Amino acid sequence: MTTPRDDIGFDLPQIEPGWVWLTGAGPGDPGLLTLLALAGLKSADVIIYDALVSETILNAARPDVELIYAGKRGGKPSLKQPDISAKLVEQAKLGKKVLRLKGGDPFVFGRGGEEALALVEANIPFRLVPGVTAGIAGPAYAGIPVTHRDANHAVTFVTGHSAAGDVPDSVDWHAIAKTAPVIVLYMAMRHLGLITERLIAGGRDPQEPVALIAQATTADQKVVTTTLQGCSQSALVHEIKPPALVVIGKTVNLRDQLDWLRDLPDATRDTKPVGRQHPV
């Protein structure tokens, strides 16, 4: 089945009964929602959504849709991952059209792979709808290219938060310090001091430019530029709180020239990541 063409000039699919769409909602700005994600919103019977999905995006769903809040915000009440997967299976087996709506991209530090494997094990058909990940969009909205010909030919995306809540032991911070010209850290604020110590110990320049980006792409976006050595203290002084990204590398210096958002009218930036809570 497909949705009407409307004004886009081509047909879009819609969720079939008993199917689950694992869908990225992007980093916050509803304008970054993909057309497939919008088609899922308008066809879903049930939406199981994370805390970072804005109310503006949820308002694009059908008026009679069932909203189930999954949480998934550090330090906040959330369903456990196995419970979320079980809820997806349960709703699909009831013949519902299920939209699993996740901030950013489901397969970029979003645990979408775990949910997809649970659906495979339960013989539930699913579709993956990629979303714009914060590690790309956040720096872009801060005027920072993650790659630039004169600065770097590689970028490394790293999570600063393991499943146990610690700095990931599986990450070779010394190797990253030596080989990654630009580093984008997700979920690193809790352990930022320790991570920067490890990078400096691995040979990273303590004076290397760093950008801290909180609430990326939303009306509340906040950007602080600092140094690797000083970024942990800067985060405290400027009250940078999750969700936040850390960008490390020479491309941060381009922000002075490329901060396009600086002159954008406030009326065009009117979304906040405040998921509505509903009983599960």
CATH of the domain at 163: 3.30.950.10
Query: Which structural domain, as residue segments, surrounds residue 154?
Result: 135-263
Encode the chain (280 residues) as per-residue pLDDT tens digits: 655 555 678 899 999 999 999 999 999 999 999 999 999 999 999 999 999 999 999 999 999 999 999 986 555 556 889 999 999 999 999 999 999 999 999 999 999 999 999 999 999 999 999 999 999 999 999 999 999 999 999 999 999 988 778 888 889 999 999 999 999 999 999 999 999 999 999 999 999 999 999 999 999 999 999 999 999 999 999 999 999 999 999 999 999 999 998 877 664 554 443 333 333 2
Task: For residue 38, give the CATH number of its domain.
Answer: 3.40.1010.10
Residues 56 and 154 in one domain: no
Q: Per DSSP, what are the bridge partners of residue 184?
A: 157, 247
The residues pairing with 26 across neighbouring beta strands, listed in sequence order, are 104
Domain's final residue, options 105, 132, 159: 132
Is there a domain that residue 269 lies in? no
Q: Which residues pair with 47 in a beta bridge?
A: 67, 99
Q: Which of 132, 157, 189 is the last residue of a domain?
A: 132
Q: Please indicate, yes or no, if residue 278 is contained in any of the structural domains.
A: no
- Are 121 and 158 in the same domain? no
Residues designated catalytic: 50, 72, 187
Q: What is the C-alpha to C-alpha distance for residues 52 and 216, in angstroms, rounded to an integer?
A: 11
Considering the domain architecture, whether residues 70 and 180 belong to the same structural domain is answered as: no
In a domain, 271, yes or no: no
Are 126 and 9 members of one domain?
Answer: yes
Among 18, 65, 19, 17, which residue's Cα sits nearest to residue 41?
65
